[in-house]
A and B are shown apart, each in its own frame.
Chain A
Amino acid sequence: MTVFTGEQRGAVGGRRSWLVELHGWLTTVDHKRIAVLYIVSGLVFLLVAGTEASLMRLQLARPDQHILPPEVFNRLFTMHGTTMIFLVGMPILLGAANFLVPLMIGARDLAFPRLNAFGYWLFLFGALLLYFSYIGGMGVYGAGSAPDVGWFAYSPLTQKTFSRGHSTDYWILGILISGMGSMLTAINLITTIVTMRCRGMTFMRMPLFCWMMLVTSVLVICAFAPLTAAQIMLLFDRQLGSHFFDPEHAGSSVLWQHLFWFFGHPEVYILILPTFGFISEIVPVFSRKVLFGYPLMVMASMLIGFVSLAVWAHHMFAVGMVAPLNAYFAWASMLIAVPTGIKIFNWIATMYGGQLRFQTPMLFATAFVAMFTIGGLTGVMLAVAPFDLQVTDSYFVVGHFHWVLFSGTLFGIFGAVYYWFPKVTGRMLSERLGRWHFWLILTGFIVTFTPMLMSGFLGMPRRIYTYQTGHGWDVWNLISSLGVLVQIAGMLFFVLNVIVSLAKGRRADGDPWDAWTLEWATSSPPAPYNFAEEPVVASRRPLWDLKHPEDPDTEYE
């Protein structure tokens, strides 16, 4: 259903030399192309980080293994964490926002297209700077070494005394630069959403994904600002001899923890809220029903965003804060379960009474709801501070946040890739390969991360490069490592699917899923200007109104 497009894009594409094509990509300020750059970079880094994780699981498959030396293992988990958070989650979600927000609100681009491109290149060069440490990390000491201070880089381990060479400086600068890019993009998104909605699109008629990006962007600004400040302070400590985080000179290592987690916890919601948006778009379309309780969903998102700024110290229950503070952070953290629960229930309610079509996007969305629930519930458990004192910094935490970020963020991303791939490329991904991908990755995920909850209960700390036998950890670690093999198989199907479908996937028309939001009202892929004329909407589902003139949403909202 191609409603608002003037001309098809076919006439423009085709016989251009690769140099012209490359020049086009490098200089582009088109939000859709920048989105593709973001997402492709993110997926490449996903493969890199996955390889790092696989190596770690290889080492931990059996007790007392010495396949990797300790320093290599420590670099791997530092880089895996840093990469997944900053170089996979952030770019893919910002990329998705880049592509979808203007299309969903009926705009022709983001508010500041050149700033948008600048943000992407900051991200990319920050990422490359971080990975350059593998070659130049030791600086004048000679050999390369990636950072090995953990992704939350607790002081004073990051001070010059304990972290020689320059690998920690690369970590600081890489993240600082890509973080600047994220903040600029967040400002861009907020401006776009607030000022560039098409006629008739009031705030309460925006697709939920746009709401999510609005909340997320505010969080990005609130969270990355203190992180950037803390990183500059740390850089001063290392390079200019200041002592912000150096307890030897009356600095405070606890201050670093507060500043880092003041970023770190909202960051989790920065990574999950956009995927809530994906799910809120996918579930209704594949259930053939309108999203249940839209206003409450919006309110819940804003509440999550707001409260997430005030729960950071639940990462620090073992630090030895006073009891009233610990109690406060326990309460605040648990409170987040309420709006999150509302979302889960509303998605299920959307499915009730529908006609569920289990194509690949819906498979991932359903798995998201089923599995993320476990991530949320283990999170509630961790918020109960006395329990947390046992399992914080154990494998239980590793299991918990993979349940949030893997079956949450990553499943959401996969669902979104399958859902919007036709819109981006004009071709459908293969359903058959998609099913293989889904079932393998789901099985691999469960097999890998369930045992981590168990080994955490059995007292296994995280971030150890090897362990002795006799604790009962061996079997769980072996199962966990075997799960990785299944995941690798799943990812191969995904890569295969993307390559094959790009070349000869079924052609998609403008609206292959029979969906309702504005991005499906233009051609696939959309013309550079998105819409030939500014769309006018009268409800949350403009295409529903067009398809059902006898029963439009406008009468019920």
Chain B
Amino acid sequence: MGPTRAAIRVIESAMAVPAGSSPPAPVCPPQNTSIFSPATEQAARITEVTWLVIGICLLIFVVVEALLVYAIIRYRRRRDAGPHDPPQVYGSGPIELAWTVVPILIVVVLGLVATRGVFSIDTEHPPPHALPVSVIAHQWWWEFRYPDQGIVTANELVVPLSDPDEPRPIALSLQSADVVHSFWVPRLAGKKDVFPHRINTIWFDPTTAGVYHGQCSEYCGRQHAHMLILVRVLPKPEWEQWVRAQQAPAAEVPSGAAGREIFLSTACVKCHTVRGTPADGTFAPDLTHLQSRTTIAAGTLANTHENLLRWVTDPQQVKPGCNMPAMQLRPDQIEQVVAYLETLH
């Protein structure tokens, strides 16, 4: 390939996604991520503590500010004040003792609250029948492995609804493939940092079906902002259906044949896995059932035809610094690859 043709390709790919392209469309608003609307008992316990702590601190705040405002108003220097300084008060043992002891009592209360919370979060192990999922954080996406089901997926964690009579919590074991990340889905649980070569655990008992959003909350490099987590809690039958679909190898649909050929003959296969094909890379999200996910690029874009085109054409335009390069394909090849990706249900 001569330099001229290479230049043409660069221009072509630049035209496919106009420079200064519009920002990615929002994925699926609204996304409630408030710590005040917990959806699990684990998060609800923290919310309880939060209200208690806010209440106590608000009370102290009001008392202190009231004293201060009173002092400001009451003891402002009057215009008719004489030249003499007011009486000097050097201190008072009993008063100072009072505002030493009262804060100590408050600290004892808060300390006990904190201790109870810490021990209930850190030492209560998940029941043995909890669903284990191993979470592997990458720069900048999440990998979810279900050892019992033999499923590997990315960025969207799909879990069964837990029946209150027969709870089946979700037990996540967290590891990082590179730098420190942090797993945070505020409505499900508090956050836990994710380290390389160290396994952290976190568990929650999802008792309300729905979609819960979160994102990496430890600064992890250039695209820290685009490392979103989406947790879908499905009723058990639907979840089992999802599991069966995920366990199947990739669909082979005639409409994707041309794109499949291109996909398998380029470096895509070095990083991505599509089960049932020679593609078995593990550096990037598993694409076997890409169409079962609602977002691409770790929640950066909605999973639509246009967005797949933009993404495959030049990921660096959408998520600058991410580890996927533009593959320098012709526009018609990109159409074909995307057509193939759209067959991966």
Q: Spell out A's residues near B (CB within 8 Å).
A: 63-66, 69-71, 74, 148, 150, 154-157, 161-162, 247-248, 250, 253-254, 287-290, 292-296, 318-320, 322-323, 326-327, 330-331, 334-335, 337-338, 341-342, 344-346, 348-349, 351-358, 366, 369-370, 373-374, 377-378, 380-381, 383-387, 389-394, 457-472, 548, 551, 553, 556-557
Q: Which residues of B contact A71 (CB under 8 A)?
A: 222, 320-321
Let me know if A320 and B193 touch, CB within 8 A.
yes
Q: Which residues of A contact B265 (CB under 8 A)?
A: none
Let me know if A386 and B186 touch, CB within 8 A.
no
Let me know if B68 and A348 touch, CB within 8 A.
yes
Let me know if B193 and A357 touch, CB within 8 A.
no
Let me know if B90 and A357 touch, CB within 8 A.
no
Let me know if B192 and A320 touch, CB within 8 A.
yes
Q: Is B16 an interface residue (CB 8 A)?
A: no
Bound CA–CA A463/B224 (angstroms): 8
Let me know if A471 and B213 touch, CB within 8 A.
yes
Q: Which residues of B contact A553 (CB under 8 A)?
A: 88
8 residue pairs, one from A and one from B, having the closest CB atoms? A470-B29, A389-B190, A459-B33, A386-B117, A464-B225, A64-B23, A293-B91, A323-B122
Q: Which residues of A contact B77 (CB under 8 A)?
A: 288, 355-357
Name the residue of chain B whose CB is nearest to the CB of A156.
Answer: B179
Besides A348-B67, A369-B68, A393-B217, 20 other A-B contacts (C-beta < 8 A): A156-B180, A162-B179, A254-B195, A289-B86, A290-B90, A320-B200, A323-B119, A327-B118, A338-B104, A349-B92, A352-B75, A377-B61, A381-B53, A383-B114, A384-B113, A389-B191, A457-B36, A461-B217, A471-B31, A557-B90
Q: Which residues of B contact A338 (CB under 8 A)?
A: 100, 103-104, 107
Q: Is B76 an interface residue (CB 8 A)?
A: yes
Q: Which residues of B contact A384 (CB under 8 A)?
A: 49, 53, 110, 113-114, 117
Q: Which residues of B contact A380 (CB under 8 A)?
A: 53, 57, 110
Q: Which residues of B contact A457 (CB under 8 A)?
A: 34-36
Shortest C-beta distance, A470 to chain B (Å), equals 3
Bound CA–CA A338/B96 (angstroms): 12
Q: Spell out B's residues near A (CB within 8 Å).
A: 23-24, 26-36, 43, 45-46, 49-50, 53-54, 57, 60-61, 64-65, 67-68, 71-72, 75-78, 81, 85-92, 95-96, 99-100, 103-104, 106-107, 110-111, 113-115, 117-119, 121-123, 139, 178-180, 182, 184, 186, 189-193, 195-198, 200-201, 213-225, 299, 320-321
Candidates A247, A386, A458; contact of B33 at CB < 8 Å:
A458
Q: Which residues of A contact B81 (CB under 8 A)?
A: 355
Let me know if A472 and B30 touch, CB within 8 A.
yes
Q: Which residues of A contact B195 (CB under 8 A)?
A: 247, 253-254, 319-320
Candidates B68, B121, B196; contact of A156 at CB < 8 Å:
B196
Q: Which residues of A contact B104 (CB under 8 A)?
A: 338
Let me know if B30 and A355 touch, CB within 8 A.
no
Let me know if B225 and A466 touch, CB within 8 A.
yes
Let me know if B33 and A385 touch, CB within 8 A.
no
Q: Which residues of B contact A466 (CB under 8 A)?
A: 23, 225
Q: Which residues of B contact A468 (CB under 8 A)?
A: 24, 26-27, 29, 31, 299
Q: Which residues of A contact B54 (CB under 8 A)?
A: 381
Shortest C-beta distance, B304 to chain A (Å), equals 15
Shortest C-beta distance, A3 to chain B (Å), equals 19
Let me know if A322 and B122 touch, CB within 8 A.
yes
